[in-house]
């Protein structure tokens, strides 16, 4: 099978980890160019040592390279602000698709096991956030069984795994993730919280997902959650339940107040996850970054399988 040529914009931690994953794991993608803006970045240096073409002048430099014509998919691993500029340049080329790993959310939210087929033909898809990729599949799993009134997620990540890009995008993280809990997860109202955990030694990513849904069959919900976890594990092996799924009935006589929804009752479902990274480039505790790059790679491979190689 002929591999699809791709480019990565952003030579920081996320971009570099994605580069290593494509090189080591992908049977359908070929990294053609690694793009950054810092000649001294470790990502560009590693790419050069691996005999991959590099560009240190951003998207503008990439567009002038002879490799650009053959590139079909562009990963953006920069920042929300930079993505707006990058997309303005790329969208003029109808034969290119962009996979956005920033919280810019220019294109529709995409979580591979939940809504890939809804957006397979879209030129720009957004991978939400690390917290979104980890938790939205669980909200969606509950939504498949019972209508979810409210979905709240708390993503705790090691402070050492949060680089300048993550720290600069904290507001976008919470807003983007909360919106995606609703749009993709199916919750009537969503809320997202991120915690930068300074513990030493650093802890792996932990996620808590709480949903309040209509009364539903607990066993069916549990089974739906376990099936969804298995789907995510196909591309993120370190994605796992940390504890058994917990249920609590909220009675009509003792409802809870949810801002924007008022008094609500039903079935409360609580799920605790941990996400351990594969250790390809980043430490294993950086599962928050690993799930983003893994989801982006899985998305590109499915696009290649369904569209590019069948064109």
The residues assigned a catalytic role are 130
3-state SS of the chain is CCCEEEEEECCCHHHHHHHHHHHHHCCCEEEEEEECCCCCCHHHHHHHHCCCEEECCHHHHHHCCHHHHHCCEEEECCCHHHHHHHHHHHCCCCCCEEEECCCCCCCCECCHHHHHHHCCCCCEEECCCHHHHHHHHHHHHHHCCCCEEEEEEEEEEEHHHCCHHHHHCHHHHHHHHHHHHHHCCCCCEEEEEEEEECCCCCCCEEEEEEEEECCCCHHHHHHHHHHHHHHHHCCCCCEEECCCCEEEEECCCCCEEECCCEEECEEEEEEEEEECCCCCCCCCCCHHHHHHHHHHHHHHHHHHHHHHCCC
Q: At what angle do helices 130-143 and 287-303 cross, to 10 degrees?
A: 70
Task: List the structure tokens of 71.
Answer: 């590139």
Say how far apart CA 107 and CA 286 lie, in whole Å: 26
> ω before 201 within 30° of 0 (cis)?
yes
Q: How far is CA 202 from CA 157, 207, 289, in A?
A: 9, 15, 14
Q: How far is CA 79 from CA 75, 258, 261, 297, in A?
A: 12, 32, 33, 18
């Amino acid at each position: 099978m002929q591999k699809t040529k791709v480019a990565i914009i952003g030579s920081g931690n996320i971009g570099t980890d994605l580069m290593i994953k494509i090189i080591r794991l992908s049977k359908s993608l070929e990294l053609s160019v690694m793009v950054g803006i810092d000649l001294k970045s470790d990502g560009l240096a590693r790419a050069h040592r691996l005999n991959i073409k590099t560009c240190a002048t951003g998207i503008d430099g990439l567009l002038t390279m002879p490799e650009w014509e053959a590139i079909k998919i562009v990963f953006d691993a920069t920042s929300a602000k930079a993505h707006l500029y990058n997309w303005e340049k790329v969208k003029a080329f109808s034969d290119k698709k962009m996979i956005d790993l920033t919280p810019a959310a220019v294109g529709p939210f995409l979580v591979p096991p939940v809504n890939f087929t809804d957006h397979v033909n879209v030129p720009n898809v957004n991978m939400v956030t690390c917290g979104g990729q980890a938790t939205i599949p669980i909200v969606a799993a509950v939504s498949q069984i019972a209508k979810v009134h409210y979905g709240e997620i708390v993503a705790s990540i090691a402070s050492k795994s949060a680089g300048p890009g993550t720290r600069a995008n904290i507001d976008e993280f919470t807003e983007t993730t909360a919106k995606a809990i609703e749009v993709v997860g199916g919750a009537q109202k969503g809320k997202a919280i991120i915690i930068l955990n300074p513990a030493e030694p650093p802890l792996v990513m932990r996620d808590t997902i709480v949903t309040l849904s209509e009364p539903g069959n607990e066993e069916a919900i549990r089974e739906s959650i376990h099936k969804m976890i298995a789907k995510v594990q196909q591309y993120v092996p370190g994605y796992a339940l940390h504890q058994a799924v917990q249920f609590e009935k909220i009675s009509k006589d003792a409802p809870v107040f949810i801002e924007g929804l008022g008094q609500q009752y039903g079935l409360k479902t609580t799920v605790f996850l941990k996400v351990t990274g594969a250790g390809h480039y980043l430490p294993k505790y950086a599962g928050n970054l690993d799930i983003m790059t893994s989801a982006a790679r899985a998305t590109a491979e499915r696009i290649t399988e369904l569209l590019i190689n069948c064109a």
